[in-house]
Structure 1
Amino acid sequence: MTAEPISDRGTRWPVPPPNGYTVDDLFTLPDLPPHTELIDGSLVFVSPQRDFHTIMMDLLVDGLRRAAPEKLKVRREMAVVLDRRNVPEPDVSVVRAEAVTGRTLTRYQAADVVLAVEVVSPDSAARDRDAKPGKYAAAGIPYFWLVDVAGADDHPVVRVYELDPVTRSYVISGIHRDQLKTNVPYPIDIDISQDALDRL
């Protein structure tokens, strides 16, 4: 551990080391809140989620699992080690089956991840739209989905991105509003309409 906690009115907060936290710190610091992420050496704590966020994750996990080939597994809210200073927790990930080595696993390596999905929340919008896609692309994750809301009725919109191996950046390959139908990373057809959300 590279940081010593300080106490202020009964709350203990870790003091960051001079060069920021590393992946080792993230997994050894005691008493961190669930779903803490490491972004550019800083700890990021998750705020309470909106109902849309939860049901959209449920809808995507169910649809992805129904269609997944045996060589791939679908996971939600698992840490992904991109490098020493970046360990985000995608809302949904599709990982290679051989990377699932046991029930006590706490993280995956970027090379294990085929698809990372972020469902935008108000408190994490900048990270979800700007910071994380660039980091996922630089780490070589082939596919990225960004799930947001649009319009007066806040209907879901899923933007599907594919990695350009030359530029190591994502290029958009589709925008889906009522039906998420794509062939990457495998054939997927998920009803993402308001009716589908209302049924959950």
Structure 2
Amino acid sequence: MTALPDESWLLTIRPQPARVTGEEYDALPEEIARAIEIVDGYVVYCAAPTPDHQTAARRLANLLERHAKAAMGAGHECLTVNTDVDLRLRDLPLLNRRPDIALYRCLDRERGERLRAENTLLVVEIVSPGSETQDTTDKLGEYAKAGIPHYWIVRLDRTGVSIIERYRLDRAAMLYKHIGTFMKDESEFGEAPRVTNPIPMVIDWAELAF
């Protein structure tokens, strides 16, 4: 059995007639915008996340939000954490991603301020079947070029979040430098991993279990 359809399917393929502009994207209904990303003006369809993916994103976002509130209580500027958030990386040609989780400076809701790279401190992508190249290569380059200071790549096993790869932006090269990987198996009998940037955090694996 082949994974590809017969040649008649190829005849139905049509190129996108023109690149999507920022104005056109902004005019899309939310249910459509949530199902796509725009890369260099071209539509990229996003597969629906699995239940495990959704659970991991929610629990990791809750952990980040708890530490963000603690950081604000200690004097940090206003911070927001969101999942599946609309992030504008570039206007021309349009580059619009929807990262699994983003930690960013609070936006002016009354003015309808859009989330952009300059507001964003950390982006997290959870690797799913079929997203390996996008998460580890494409988005790694895009988020770095846009100037987002921190990027985490998260991997799952059957029990929850198992690996967190951390990258920090080298502003001289505008590339990410790998600064460490947290592995659940290596932490079972030791202290919970801690980070200081972009905000102080303790990675409690129990919070990230299914």
Shorter-chain TM-score bucket reads 0.7 to 0.9
Measure, in 2, the Cα distance between the counterparts of 1:106 and 1:39: 21
3-state DSSP of counterpart to 2:97: coil
Equivalent residue, structure 2, for 1:10: none
3-state DSSP of counterpart to 1:108: coil
Q: Post-superposition shift, 1:155?
A: 5.7
Equivalent residue, structure 1, for 2:117: 110
Equivalent residue, structure 2, for 1:172: 178
Residue type at the aligned position of 2:24: D
Residue type at the aligned position of 1:26: Y
State yes or no: 1:37 paired with 2:48. no
Equivalent residue, structure 2, for 1:60: 60
Measure, in 2, the Cα distance between the counterparts of 1:103 and 1:119: 31
Match of 1:80 among 44, 62, 87: 87
Q: Post-superposition shift, 1:149?
A: 3.3
Equivalent residue, structure 2, for 1:51: 51
State yes or no: 1:145 paired with 2:144. no
State yes or no: 1:192 paired with 2:205. yes
Moved over 4 A (4+): 103-106, 152-155
- How many residue pairs match? The answer is 180
State yes or no: 1:156 paired with 2:159. no
Name the CA shift for 1:160/1:184 in 2 (closer, same or farther; >3 Å): same
Equivalent residue, structure 2, for 1:181: 194
Q: Deviations over 1:61-105 (max 9, x none)?
A: 1111111122221111111111122110111111112xx222895
Q: Post-superposition shift, 1:130?
A: 1.0
> Structure 2 stretches of 5 or more lacking a match?
1-13, 185-191
Measure, in 2, the Cα distance between the counterparts of 1:75 and 1:155: 18
Measure, in 2, the Cα distance between the counterparts of 1:81 and 1:182: 27
Identity of aligned residues (%): 27
Residue type at the aligned position of 2:169: L
Q: Which has the higher helix share?
A: 2
3-state DSSP of counterpart to 2:209: helix
Measure, in 1, the Cα distance between the counterparts of 2:86 and 2:53: 18
Q: Which has the higher strand share?
A: 1
Equivalent residue, structure 2, for 1:16: 16
Measure, in 2, the Cα distance between the counterparts of 1:136 and 1:45: 19
Name the CA shift for 1:106/1:37 in 2 (closer, same or farther; >3 Å): farther
Bigger Rg, structure 1 or 2: 2
TM-score when normalising by structure 1? 0.79
8 A Cα contact 1:119 1:147, kept in partner: yes
3-state DSSP of counterpart to 1:111: helix
Match of 1:91 among 92, 100, 106: 100
8 A Cα contact 2:159 2:209, kept in partner: no
Residue type at the aligned position of 1:61: A
